[in-house]
A = this chain, B = another copy of it.
Amino acid sequence: MITPGSSDAIRVAVSAVIFSLRSGANGDRLMLPLVRRTRDPYLDAWALPGGWLDPAEDLDAAASRTLAETTALTPSYLEQLYTFGDVDRSPTRVVSIIYWALLRSDLVDAQRSAAGAPENVEWFDVDDLPPLAFDHRRIAEYALWRLRNKVGYSWIGAGLLPDEFTLTELREVYETVLGRRLDPSNFRRLLEGSDELVPTESFRTGKHRPARLFRLAEKA
């Protein structure tokens, strides 16, 4: 039987995996921000943004606070993903509650320039991550797997776009997240069969023929 006191040797941290689309040489890429560690263990290694849970704050609040402190980012949507707590994941016993979020690419730069971009934060392609501290590579890969699963049966990928978007823009997001081409007419059929995406009266005009803009339906 474990007595209550023996749990005191366990510390609780909160970290976040934030996905966004960032423009690169070969078009948009799915990327996430990492923070370079400034102390041991894993001094100078890259790690997920996060920090210690404050005894006086709720888990969601801790996820938002530590994310803002380390990256100056404020995602509109932050969801608890999973809690990692293997005995050997850190030199001391740390249970890490992991959150994940999608951040609209147009907001990333605005937030970073408003807050002054922290110097030790960089964005990395999810398929080309550097060596990570602790078990953070496993955590990042798990979050990516969950994201790819979730876009398979939901329109959550729209969270990476501004409020209004064309069918083509949405399909390209799904292709970037999933890492494969999707059939445009199948995609259009799926979308038209959904009541989660709502057509607006606006159109995107440009060199192609005008394309109707859609938005996510309001949550009930």
The residues of B that contact A69 with a CB separation of less than 8 Å are 1
The residues of B that contact A6 with a CB separation of less than 8 Å are 52, 54-55
Cβ of A208 to closest chain B Cβ, rounded Å: 36
CA separation between A52 and B3, bound complex, in Å?
7
* Residue total for A at the interface (Cβ-Cβ under 8 A): 33
Query: Which of B3, B7, B11, B59 touches A85 (beta carbons < 8 Å)?
Result: B59
CA separation between A45 and B52, bound complex, in Å?
32
Does A105 lie at the interface of the complex (its beta carbon under 8 Å from any beta carbon of B)? no
Other than A8-B8, A59-B85, A85-B97, give 19 A-B pairs with Cβ distance below 8 A. Answer: A2-B53, A6-B52, A6-B55, A7-B11, A7-B12, A7-B13, A8-B11, A10-B12, A10-B53, A53-B85, A53-B95, A55-B87, A56-B87, A58-B85, A58-B87, A59-B83, A59-B86, A83-B97, A153-B153
Top 5 A-B residue pairs of the complex, sorted by shortest distance between their CB atoms: A59-B85, A7-B11, A9-B55, A2-B52, A83-B83
